[in-house]
Amino acid sequence: MLSFSRSLPLPPLADLLDSAHVVSLPMRVTFRGVTERETVVFRGPAGWGEFGPFPEYGDAEAAAWLRAGIEAAWQGVPEPVRDRVPVNATVPAVPAERVVDVLGGYAGQVHAVKIKVAERGQSLADDVARVAAVRHLLPDAELRVDANAGWDEDDAVTALSALSEFRIAYAEQPVASVEGLASVRRRLREQGVGTLIAADESVRKAEDPLAVARAGAADLIVVKVAPLGGVRRALDVVAQAGLPAVVSSAIDSSVGIRAGVALAAALPELPYACGLGTLSLMTADVTAEPLRPVDGFLPVRDVAVDEALLAEHAITGARRDWWLDRLRRTHAVLAAQ
């Protein structure tokens, strides 16, 4: 349920629209098939919030993203238990020869890398080459792969067995279903492959995010603030699941990354580097001081949104109208709960 409590009332739609800025931030590389990340940021009494559900998401799913943005802007974030959080670099499904350029976007040392695999139109050979390139450049880094449910069970077992030679710590969402995750996990163990299984979409897009834990389908869960409806709801999911958690982003601006950092900073335990370094995949932001990692860490701090950058990257015309109408619809979804 995404209903609002007394501690987080639903603000009037007019307040959201009055402070909403629709922006388009260029990507350094193609990610999820796009080269520009469109999103909305708005201001409330506690600071800035972000609303950037991917365009293909329906209003009911997008409502969680709006709730998360409202929490950040109207309620603020919980008290942290640490003052910085470890983050991984992210390598999209680029050709192996471009891996060095992608990793060059991260300042200082890189201790962990998430590598996209199972991209539509690519082969296992492409994945192997990409992962091999990362391992060659970073022989001591922790590597994890993210398939975004792009394999079936047999392909997942085959691929993860082949990739295991590169010492993969865990694989995010190799297949779509909870039952499939459990099957892949069991089959890998039977073959002596120690790669752990992480559930991502099965947690953040499910009506019951705890089904993964009950089914024994994963060794850890990936949590993202926006799809789960806010930092506090994400903390509750992690506590109830009883599994180690990796905090990740949804390719946000620094406003959304700040919420992810707040979640990571508030978790009692943080055994894995977080997927919050995705601003290194972008060439622009809404702040003059982006939340980009240095030496594999992000500081726990607030973000000062720059009005000049909002104007520079503002979307006008039909696309702006599309986003504001989407905000109206998702606000109505929340109001009806």
**If the chain, 337 residues long, is cut into consecutive pieces of 10 residues, what is the mean pLDDT of each piece?**
61 97 92 87 97 95 97 97 96 95 89 96 98 98 97 98 98 96 97 96 79 93 95 94 94 97 98 93 95 93 97 97 98 95
φ and ψ at 191, to 5 degrees?
Answer: -90, 0
The domain locations on the chain are 13-75+307-336, 84-299
Write out pLDDT tens, residues 133-174: 999 999 999 999 999 999 999 999 999 999 999 999 999 999
Predicted confidence at residue 8, as pLDDT, reads 79
Predicted confidence at residue 5, as pLDDT, reads 54
Predicted confidence at residue 313, as pLDDT, reads 98
Predicted confidence at residue 1, as pLDDT, reads 36
List the catalytic residue out of 21, 67, 111, 116: 116
Predicted confidence at residue 3, as pLDDT, reads 47
Q: pTM for the complete prediction?
A: 0.92
Binding residue numbers: 146, 172, 200
Q: Would you call 224 a catalytic residue per the annotation?
A: yes
List the catalytic residue out of 130, 185, 204, 224: 224
Binding residue numbers for Mg(2+): 146, 172, 200
Q: Which residue is associated with the tokens 């069970």?
A: 153
CA-nearest of 228, 253, 204 to 24 is 253
Strand order in the sheet with 89-91: 89-91, 112-116, 142-146, 168-172, 196-199, 220-224, 245-248
Residue 138's Cβ-side half-sphere holds a number of Cα atoms within 13 Å equal to 26
Q: Would you call 205 a catalytic residue per the annotation?
A: no
- Provide long-range contacts, Cβ within 8 A and 24+ apart, for 310-313: 310/21, 310/23, 310/41, 310/286, 312/284, 313/23, 313/24, 313/25, 313/284, 313/286
CATH superfamily of 13-75+307-336: Enolase-like, N-terminal domain (3.30.390.10)
Judging by beta carbons within 10 Å of its beta carbon (0-12, 13-18, 19+), is residue 127 exposed, middle or buried? Answer: buried
CATH value of 84-299 in 3.30.930.10, 3.30.70.2170, 3.40.50.620, 3.20.20.120 = 3.20.20.120
Predicted confidence at residue 29, as pLDDT, reads 78
